[in-house]
Amino acid sequence: MPQIRLEGIGKDFPVENEKRVVHAIRSVDLTIEQGEFVFITGSSGAGKSTLLQMIACDLRPTHGAVYLDGVNVTRMTQRHRARKRLCFGYVPQISTLARKRTVEENLSAVALLGRGRGQRTPAESVRKALSLVGLSGAAGCYPVELSLGESRRVELARAIINNPEILVLDELTANLDEDTAWDMFLFLSELNHHGITVIMATHAKNFVNLMRRRVITLVDGLVFGDVQKGRYGDIV
C-alpha cells in the first residue's frame, strides 16, 4: 500500500474582487506511512479541509508536490490523477449525496468507477458496503429519509465501496451523538487494523485523547504539532 509524502505544498485562493490571496496551506512537509491512523486537528479555518483535499488528489496545490508511493501525483494529467483517486476513499465535510437518488443509486455510481479492482458486481459491492456500516436495510431509501448519523454512515460506505488503501475523512463524526460517533471510531480502528491508512480531520477531542494515535495540529495553514500517540492539542 502507498506511502503519502507532501513536499512543500501550499494552496492559495484568490479573494474575489480583491488583489490578494488567502494562504490556506503554507509550505507543509509531511510523510504518512502505509497503515497509519492520523488525526488532523486545528481550529476552524486552519486549513484542514484544504490539506485533506490535496492529499486525496482532489485539489491541486499551488506549489509543492504530492507523492503517492514515490510518484509525483501533482504532475499527472487530470485523467491519470482520476485513476490515482481510486486509491482513496474520501468523505468531505459537507454531504455530497444526490438527494434525488436512492442510497443504492448513490453508491452504485461510485462502485462502477472501481470495476476491475475486485470481482464483485456494483450491486454486490453496495450490499457489502452497507452491511459493513450497519445499514443493510437502507439501500432503497433517499437521503432525506435518513438521520444525520445514517447519512454519514452511507457516505462512509461509499468511501469504502471500492476497497481503497487510504481513507481521507473530513469531520465524519461532527454533530453526531456520542454513541454513534464512538461506533464509527471503532469501525475505523478495525479497518486500520487490517492495513487501511486512515487520515481524519476532527474536533472530537475526547475520542482523539482516548485513541492516542498520531496527531497533526494545523495553525493558519502550518503544521504546528506532529505527535505520535498524541492527545488533542499536543504540539511536542
Q: Is 222 exposed, middle or buried (0-12, 13-18, 19+ CB in 10 A)?
A: middle
Q: Count CB atoms within 10 A of the CB of residue 22.
A: 14
Q: At 130, phi and psi to the nearest 5?
A: -65, -35
Write down the pLDDT at residue 118. 55
Q: List the domains of the chain with CATH numbers.
A: 4-227 (3.40.50.300)
SS3 121: coil
Q: Which of the residues in the chain have pLDDT under 50?
A: none
Q: Which residues pair with 167 in a beta bridge?
A: 89, 198
Write down the pLDDT at residue 28. 97
